[in-house]
Structure 1
Amino acid sequence: MTLTFRGALAPDEVLLAALDTIPGLVGSARVAERWADESALPGMTVGGLTRHLVSQAETAVEFLGFGGVPPHAVQVDLTGLYARTDWLLAGRDAPENTSIRDEFNAMAAIGPDACREVLAQTRAALPSLLAGAGPAVYVPWQDCVLATADFAVCRALEVVVHADDLAASVDLPALEFPTVVVDPVVATLAVLGARRHGTTGMLRALARSERALATDGLSAFG
């Protein structure tokens, strides 16, 4: 089965709605106060996690701004993208993951005010880039091509997951994202979780609590 949202949703609606949900959290006094503290993600500071969350808008601006697709690049769906992602199956302490953690901890040195400004500036640049985007986006990290709608879902997924991480890190309520964001994100996580751990466990976790297996091991991202 191909997991794609091509033709099923508007990329701008998904991505912009996701980003428009997070400024209050990113700019909260609680986040600023705990900037140097460890977040809910071991080894990553609250500042580093916030910087990683904000970087999803930066990544969208960068990739949408490439303006072309290399002729050699392979077109993949969302499961194909994550199959090419080195950090997904690597352990928490593997270099593929610690390098991300360390990079954003260092990038958090700009401080909370500058981080909020990065989010505002990149969010402001996205509507025109999305309006001018073609049907596909090149993803250089995995050297592949995604439907633009799938690229928007991928970035929205990162926003939703890391916004929850950040809220949990500073003891704030989880954000409520619009349905246009939540539905494709949850669908993607469910499929990835089933691919990683098997259909039976995921099916029971979602549909049959009386037969559900322990859910601690059913995370799509380990």
Structure 2
Amino acid sequence: MVRSTASLLRKWLMDHSRSIYLEAAHTALKLLQSDETAARWNDDSVLGGMTVGVLASYLARSILQVGWFLDGDLTGQQPPFSATIYYARLSDTSSRTSALNAGVEQRSAETAMRGPEAIADETRIALQVLETCLSVEPADRRVAIAHRPGEELLLDEYLCTRLVEIAVHTEDLALSIDADCVAPPCAVTAAVDLLLDAARIRHGDTSVLHALARRERDDKNALRVL
């Protein structure tokens, strides 16, 4: 059977997820280390109600969390989830006041209290550790998801979820400090591929088709995943 272009793209992204992640993480780190981010730490960001510092900490956690989750306890009691299922199962993602988003914002605000220099240094050190770690971890390495007890993803699948966060929030932070910076194209491609797959699972292909080609029939806002 001939594999579809989408399937081939997905396989390529999975085969290169570690190098793509590290490239995107270095781009994010440059923003976190910038004088502009430090100078505007307490200013409002482009995300209403969130300061630059909280947004920067949110971005930093996309790097910090990888090491934290790698240190988590694994059970191996059920098959690992895919990155697509991880996002497709998220709920209340569009509401800033949902339990999910409120929890993320609170944790980011707590992280931001350490200040821009501390966050930049902590992220730089974490990324250095990850560069070594990701070069030796086996393909079947699992990661425990702390906020979903018992659920695990393969490391490469988990990195794809962090690529979504880095692609989205690199742009958010750059716009907030008037910086000319975007996530690497390969990271953006990975994010689009994953979110589109999640939309298809969550809403079905017909709804996604409407969102892409017949917006007047898009009564589910089917392309909105986050």
Q: Decide: shared fold, TM above 0.5.
A: yes
Is residue 170 from structure 1 mapped to residue 177 from structure 2 by the alignment? yes
Conservation of the 8 A alpha-carbon contact between 2:88 and 2:225 = no
Is residue 57 from structure 1 mapped to residue 28 from structure 2 by the alignment? no
Q: Paired residue for 1:129, among 133, 138, 150?
A: 133
- The whole-number CA distance in structure 1 between the counterparts of 2:179 and 2:203 is 31
Structure 2: any 5+ residue segments left out of the alignment? 1-6
- The whole-number CA distance in structure 1 between the counterparts of 2:126 and 2:196 is 29
The 1:85/1:130 distance shift into structure 2, 3 A limit, reads: same
| Structure 2 partner of 1:99 | 103
- The whole-number CA distance in structure 1 between the counterparts of 2:145 and 2:12 is 16
**CA deviation digits over 1:62-119, x for unaligned, max 9?**
22234x6313244211232224445536x32123222221221232122111111112
Q: Paired residue for 1:76, among 75, 81, 95?
A: 81
| Structure 1 partner of 2:18 | 12
| Structure 1 partner of 2:4 | none
- The whole-number CA distance in structure 1 between the counterparts of 2:133 and 2:179 is 32
Structure 1: any 5+ residue segments left out of the alignment? none
TM-score, L = length of structure 2: 0.79
Is residue 154 from structure 1 mapped to residue 165 from structure 2 by the alignment? no
RMSD: 2.9
Pairing of 1:18-33 with structure 2 (within 5 A):
18-33=24-39
The range that moved more, 133-142 or 38-47, is: 133-142
The 1:105/1:138 distance shift into structure 2, 3 A limit, reads: closer
Conservation of the 8 A alpha-carbon contact between 1:53 and 1:158 = yes
Task: State percent identity of aligned pairs.
Answer: 26
The 1:75/1:6 distance shift into structure 2, 3 A limit, reads: farther
TM-score, L = length of structure 1: 0.81
Is residue 117 from structure 1 mapped to residue 121 from structure 2 by the alignment? yes
The 1:117/1:184 distance shift into structure 2, 3 A limit, reads: same
The 1:39/1:69 distance shift into structure 2, 3 A limit, reads: same
Task: Report the AA paired with residue 77 of structure 2.
Answer: H
SS at match of 2:143: strand
Task: Report the AA paired with residue 127 of structure 1.
Answer: E
The alignment covers a number of residue pairs equal to 213
- The whole-number CA distance in structure 2 between the counterparts of 1:104 and 1:160 is 17
SS at match of 2:152: strand
The range that moved more, 13-22 or 100-109, is: 100-109
